[in-house]
Amino acid sequence: MAGSVPRVALVTGASAGFGAAIARRLLSEGYTVIGAARRLDRLQELHAELGERFSPMVMDVTDPASVEQGYTWIRERFSGLDVLVNNAGLALGVAPAHEAKMADWERMIATNVLGLTRLVHCVLPDMVKRNQGHIINIGSTAGNHPYPGGNVYGATKAFVRQLSLNLRADLWGTRVRVTNIEPGLCGGTEFSLVRLGDQAHAKAVYEGTDPLTADDIADAVAWVATRPARVNINTLELMPVSQAFAGMKIHRES
């Protein structure tokens, strides 16, 4: 669009998986994209691929100073942030609750709950002041449907869903939008490697399935972001066709 000011998006967790795909997709939609994560080498590779409309930013969402510093950098360079994609997140382990490591629970909460909330708290006042902006959180089907071993990971994503809906309530009367995107099984990212710790177990998660891809999630993000300004997609849950609700389990004593 000749003469129009480019829209600016911050994508957290841009060094891999969904985040990298979302960054690519938003660039192709005309956005200027800041891609944040901890691994600078990965972000630099993306910068080399995507060019000058992509800015790599080292950010650890669990570190308040790192988030504040990153957002200050954005404020100094751009007139405003149009889209925040709160994507950085992780699952650690699939052990039942009584065998899980407290350190893993703490890290998931620090990243998926506190990190995401910190970003929201940082950007929201400016979005309200400008009366525009869109926060797109990446939740999960794990926040809607319990499963064995999902314990704290699923709980963090339930938090993300409810926070997203509650933000909508508080933002009534403004033009600021909030969406929670809730993907199910999705392959081709580092999610299962991070969760399970080795390639063999990670690969086994997807064997014989036709999972969602990171590009499917990027499509969903681009779609919600490009709806007319009057439209707010509250939640968007996606699953691969090969995944469905498998019913309640009944334990029978023999």
Write out the two tokens for 222.
């681009």
Our CB check for ligand 8X3 shows the closer of 141 and 164 to be 141
Query: Taking CB under 6 A as the rule, does residue 15 contact ligand NDP?
Result: yes
Binding segment toward ligand NDP, per CB under 6 A, in 58-66, 118-126, 167-175, 227-235? 58-66
Question: 56 - beta bridge partners?
Answer: 35
Cβ–Cβ < 8 Å for 167, 234: no
**Among ligand NDP, ligand 8X3, none, partner that 145 touches (CB below 5 to 8 angstroms by kind):** none
For 65, phi and psi rounded to 5 degrees? Answer: -65, -40
- Positive or negative: CA dihedral 68, 114, 24, 135: negative
Cβ–Cβ < 8 Å for 23, 33: yes
**Among ligand NDP, ligand 8X3, none, partner that 121 touches (CB below 5 to 8 angstroms by kind):** none
Q: How many CB atoms lie within 10 A of CB 141?
A: 20
Q: Least distance in Å: CB of 131 to ligand NDP?
A: 28
Query: Taking CB under 6 A as the rule, does residue 183 contact ligand NDP?
Result: yes
Contact partners, residue 228, CB within 8 Å, separation at least 6: none
Binding segment toward ligand 8X3, per CB under 6 A, in 42-50, 110-118, 136-144, 224-232? 136-144
Question: Which residues between 129 and 158 bind ligand NDP (CB under 6 A)?
Answer: 138, 140
Give the contact letters, 82-121, x = binds to ligand NDP (CB under 6 A), - = no: -----xxxx--------------------x---x------
Query: Taking CB under 6 A as the rule, does residue 142 contact ligand 8X3?
Result: yes
Angle made by CA atoms 170, 223, 12, in degrees to the nearest 5: 65
Write out the two tokens for 50.
């995507």
Query: Taking CB under 6 A as the rule, does residue 137 contact ligand 8X3?
Result: no
The amino acid at residue 116 is L
The site that binds ligand NDP (CB under 6 A) totals a number of residues, namely 31
Write out the two tokens for 239.
């699953």
Binding segment toward ligand 8X3, per CB under 6 A, in 97-105, 118-126, 140-148, 159-167? 140-148
